[in-house]
Structure 1
Amino acid sequence: MNNTAYLRNHFLIAMPHMADPNFAHTLTYICEHSADGAMGIIINRLSGLDLGDILQQLEAAESIIATQTQQPIFAGGPVQTDRGFVLHSASHKYQSTLDLGQVCLSTSQDVLLDLAEGKGPAQSLIALGYAGWEAGQLEAELTDNAWLTCPATLPILFEVDPDARLAAAAHSLGIELSLLSSQAGHA
């Protein structure tokens, strides 16, 4: 696969026939994709937790004045589900921030504390866990019609209601997922 075919800053849209419960009906933002594998964050599956719940687990949380604790936490994927990942606008950089181009990915506690105090990035999405693929695994799943792909957009990532993100990404391709057959074929 040449470099132009890598899917960094793209969405993976789970096809309706996706059988893996970890990925059925998901929209995943691809943070990194190379010959070595891929890493992404599921952006449409809420965990039932909010930032306040996470702050209770952090010792440093007692020393801050939290004003913004209702931000929902997403179930970012089945790998390292106890580790936090924050996708956010590029306006802020933290101790462990990876610049992805249109957004940043931070994994350090300082971004959470800034968000809680209302001083963080204007746009952010907090997730526990991530989705990971070994070398060649994502490419094989794409060949097997498990996913559709499209370029990621900031409105879908940050502004669209989480329950509507999957359909919004599919609509960006002119596709209505409910009309797709669960049968895949190859010519």
Structure 2
Amino acid sequence: MEEQNFLVNKFLFFQEKSQDDYFYNALIYIFEHNENGALGLIINKSLPIEEEKIFSSIGLQNISSNKSILNGGPVEVTKLFVLHDDDSQKESISNVNGLCLTSSVDLLKDIGNGTNTCKYKLALGYCGWDAGQLDYEVSKNSWHIIDFNPLEIFNSEPEELISIISKTNGFDIDKIQHTDIITKH
């Protein structure tokens, strides 16, 4: 039986506009989605933590990086993920478009030591859905599904991605709202 990819390699934009919601204006890239559930990272929100602190925590003291860490999501918020474009890494979730995800400290050390020059971003936490949960949320129009070149994640600041995706797709995704919410106003 052929494995379905469901929403793998897609971006999801949270359509509900309650600023109290964790996912308010969240743009999530989906790495895994199958009959068992889904896994993704919020790629447009940063934490007030600089990479330099992460590198020094693993013994790499001379790294001067002022890049912020992504707020990957509300699950396992202390777990570090490396979003990268090195598809030769065996411990990574790799997608056909060249975007990969790992929690391997070895890759992080290689990046810090300069022995791996892949493009990368660091994230703490991830977004996870149980079996059928994301499918249900999509069917209720909680998420807008977007096609976009995921490698643009490396070329842009996280906070600029919504604007860039909007320009590329020809409509302002920030203005999209769930129909039930529109009728409540």
Report if aligned partners of 2:36, 2:131 keep a CA contact under 8 Å in 1: yes
What letter is aligned with 1:124? Y
Distance in 2 between the 1:84 and 1:117 partners? Answer: 18
Instruction: State percent identity of aligned pairs.
Output: 28
Unaligned 5+ runs, structure 1: none
Distance in 2 between the 1:81 and 1:124 partners? Answer: 19
1:130 aligned counterpart, secondary structure: strand
Distance in 1 between the 2:75 and 2:119 partners? Answer: 24
What letter is aligned with 2:83? L
Q: Using a 3 Å threshold, how does the CA distance of structure 1 residues 73 and 169 change in structure 2: closer, same or farther?
A: same
Task: Give the root-mean-square deviation of aligned CA atoms.
Answer: 2.5
- TM-score (structure 1 length as normaliser): 0.82
- 1:143 partnered with 2:113: no
Deviation readout 1:9-63 (Å, 9 max, x if unpaired):
11111215256622111111101000111000111110111221113333xx1xx
State the partner residue of 1:44: 44
Q: Using a 3 Å threshold, how does the CA distance of structure 1 residues 39 and 151 change in structure 2: closer, same or farther?
A: same
What letter is aligned with 1:100? N
State the partner residue of 1:108: 104
1:34-113 equivalence runs, <5 A: 34-58=34-58, 61=59, 64=60, 66-90=62-86, 92-93=88-89, 96-101=91-96, 102-113=98-109
Unaligned 5+ runs, structure 2: none
Moved more, 18-27 or 128-137: 18-27
Moved more, 123-132 or 13-22: 13-22
State the partner residue of 1:174: 170
1:184 aligned counterpart, secondary structure: helix
Q: Using a 3 Å threshold, how does the CA distance of structure 1 residues 178 and 83 change in structure 2: closer, same or farther?
A: closer
Q: Using a 3 Å threshold, how does the CA distance of structure 1 residues 130 and 178 change in structure 2: closer, same or farther?
A: closer
